[in-house]
Amino acid sequence: MRIAFAGAEITVEDGAWDDADFRVSGRLSHIVHLTTTPKVGGMPNPARAHGRAALARLTRGEIRLDGNRALGRKLLQLLEL
């Protein structure tokens, strides 16, 4: 696992940038918010205000999730602990 800090952004990935299976990038505060929101099926719950806010950040591209989606849901569940 690699965690890279660049300016105001943080990137969490499972290897080198070129060959990572899954990558989460965005501002640290946004990633922390994403990991602490109530989840449904591993993704933010749209029925809850915090879940809608996290989904809005994903939609606006403030948080980027790239790669294998199943692995991403598992990573979000792991970070939720």
Spatial separation of the C-alpha atoms in residues 72 and 66, rounded to whole Å: 8
Per-residue model confidence (pLDDT) at position 6: 80
Question: Would you call 79 exposed, middle or buried from its count of C-beta atoms within 10 A (0-12, 13-18, 19+)?
Answer: middle
What would the two tokens of residue 70 be? 């199943």
The whole domain housing 20 covers 2-80
pTM of the model: 0.71
Number of domains composing the chain: 1
pLDDT in tens, 42-64: 789 999 999 999 999 999 999 99
Q: Kindly give the parts of the chain with pLDDT less than 50.
A: none
Do 15 and 65 touch, CB atoms closer than 8 A? Answer: no
